[in-house]
Amino acid sequence: MSKRRFAFPYLIWMTIFIVVPLFLIFFYAFTDNASGKTLFTLEHVKAIFQPLYLKVIGRSFYMSLIATLVCFVMGYPAAMILASKDFSQKNTMLILIVLPMWMNFLLRTYSWLSLLENEGLINRFLVSIGLGQVQLMYNNFAVILGMVYNFLPFMILPIYSVLVKIDKSVVEAAKDLGANGARVFLRIIFPLSMPGVVSGITMTFMPALSTFVISRLLSGGKITLIGNIIEQQFTITGDWGLGSALSLLLMVLIFISMIFINKYGDESVGAGGLL
């Protein structure tokens, strides 16, 4: 009885901030009150399959996948360094990784404007050494860079939390049996770290796919992602039905991606165990 009592506030929280918003999204996605009456309709769902929206969805997936891949390539070695028992500056590095997350997301993204713009610090440096000005803003590069900067900690920390718990005696036993460093990594460390990799990919890919602030600021509105269209439907055009249908599609795509990522992670762990 006491456990139920403690869970009651959490159930209220979930109902208000999860169940009710989801219900509203479904309600607006499948209803229309243009005639003064609330009627069931599939027009909003059909509209999201227009070539324009499909192109934006494809672009969003493409850029999110690239950002996630870059975060993985950068984050895994960083996590391994942090998890190494020979690395003495672990606490300092963890603070430096987490510190930007204490700042407001919007401020972190704005800070890149002063670095990447034509008169920013990077271009000033390039001009000073005679290389000339480079267009760093208002393109895919700037948006992906902003994604990587903002979401890299979400890749490093889950992988680190798993790597640091790997039994060192297993690694030592493999080395005693003649396995070199590459063999130990491919057959022991990497398979055992897959739960952290899956968590990191999920925590990076989902916000990258749904972001709209990064693309709006660093592309100057020239690159539109699905998050930007959803925001515009709710805040500018006032088409809550289409915005809800797009939000519903985004949730479905993220859910399918999570299933695929988790299934692939489980298969990788199993294959690692067989090796």
Q: How many CA atoms lie within 13 A of 239 on its CB side?
A: 15
Q: Structure pTM?
A: 0.87
Query: How far does CA 34 lie from the centroid of its chain?
Result: 37
- Residues 265 and 263: their CA atoms lie apart, in Å, by 5
Query: pLDDT at residue 270 above 80?
Result: no
Mean pLDDT of the chain: 86
Distance of CA 150 to the CA centre of its chain: 9
Helix, coil or strand: residue 104: coil
Closest by CA to 62, choosing from 253, 260, 265, 200, is: 253
82: which 2 tokens?
A: 């942090």
CA–CA separation, 178 vs 273, rounded Å? Answer: 18
- The Cα–Cα gap between 99 and 94 comes to 8
pLDDT of residue 215: 92
- The tokens of 215 are what? 């693309």
166-192 pLDDT, tens digit per residue, is: 888 888 888 877 878 788 888 888 989
Of 6-20, 41-55, 80-94, 254-268, the range with the lowest mean pLDDT is: 254-268
Q: What is the pLDDT of residue 86?
A: 75
Neighbouring C-beta atoms of residue 179, cutoff 10 Å:
16
- The CATH homologous superfamily to which domain 54-241 belongs is MetI-like (1.10.3720.10)
Tell me the pLDDT tens digit for each residue of 59-97: 999 999 999 999 999 999 999 999 887 777 888 888 888
Residues 6 or more apart whose Cβ sits within 8 Å of residue 252: none
